[in-house]
Structure 1
Amino acid sequence: MWRLRTMLAGDDGAGRRALPAGEFLHPVPLAALALLAVNDHALKGSGLLPAWVTGKLSDAMGFVFFPLLSTAVADTAALAVARLGAPVDFSLRRWKLALAIAGTLGLMVAIKLCPAAAAAVAAALGAAGFHAAVVVDPTDLFTAPAAVVAWWVGAAEIRRVPLGRIEVLERAWRRDRTPPAAGLRDVPGGDALARALERYFATGEGAAEVDAELARLRRAPAVATR
């Protein structure tokens, strides 16, 4: 019965999933990335703005978009692994967002306080084809509060994308490693739902059938009273 309640907890259609990288496709991080590019390639050295302003602007924009880029890349990779059959959760979670922000803060502290770390990051960027000067400047850490914007965007994405009932069930399955239809045949009227789920997980088809069976069980008195 717990598993059935877990399935019924989803909403917005049986097959609805969270989209990996949705947080990075939000207008705020995309605008931050665009502003960073304009700042680094046009404003710096142009004399239009003081050097300290362009320097701090780059760091602030990095705090906004880099945590979201990190979670987007990680979850897109996790999606590829999940499609190979591995029980991994590829949707954005608050703990992933917090870890990405903490990692960004840690990286910035290292390169702004340690010349060796700054040189290593500059070398890595150069090897990847991005030639950028990494300046050791502890005052750049005053831009760290901009990471709050990354948290706001990520948390808004988590709230915006409701998970469908199948996705909720898949999360539970990944967590405890039991078959998605386990125990459903012991629930009155659950046999048809078990068959629909087995078909869905085997072929990827039949989400509407799963939704119809779930709706039927929602209306069944036997489910409501157990």
Structure 2
Amino acid sequence: MRESYRDRAVVIRTYDFGEADRVIVLLTKNHGLVRGVAKGVRRAKSRFGSRLQHFVDLDVQLYPGRNLATISQADTVNYYGAKIIEDYERYTAACAALESAERLAFADADKDPYLYEAVTAALRRIQEEDPLHVLDGFLLRAMAHAGWAPSLFDCAQCQRPGPHHAFHPAVGGAACHRCRPPGAAEVDPETLHHMWLLACDEKTQPTPEQAAQAHRLIRAHLQWHIERKVTALSVMDQ
């Protein structure tokens, strides 16, 4: 039997299991994506069930199992929910960050703390900053870490210097007039500049139209590469 271990983690998703247990999907700092069961947490007398929720930075004790780890202890390190759950835009942006992180995570990505640290930083910033800007910046940087960064100036196909007026995930981002594929989005070059600033974590002041267009392009690029929709991103746009 493998030894138990402690790690920092955030809750990505939960679902009920059996009569009183709950399965918790955790994004950990040093063990990638971990699915664990918290036994008895749905009982009223559970000692740590209330801590195993979204928007909490946890210190957890885990016992590896064949299919599911067992979560035997969970201590709150930071709680980000107070300013998130009471604000619809912040809440949906935070949920989108968590769901996207699950799609971008790899269960065997041990000892790579990047995604955990990026998620906790995003949750912290969503409390105070423009939630859409924080989310889009997080997604751009997380995709770059995964090797899917969109080209935002040079043509993704032929590297012709920009700025360009077209964008399509299939070619890798910005496209010149020669490489522009059918169905490419017509894009304001300033929108791509705004996206570049977000990716670099620099200050940016886009118009509402540029911010909205950037969000649509980032969502399209993400969902193209993970090959599935992120439900929380669709909710944001309703």
Q: Where on the TM-score scale, by shorter chain, does this alignment land: which range? A: under 0.3
Which protein is richer in helix relative to its size? 1
Select the structure that is richer in strand: 2
Greater Rg over alpha carbons, structure = 1
- What is the TM-score of this pair, normalised by structure 1? 0.23
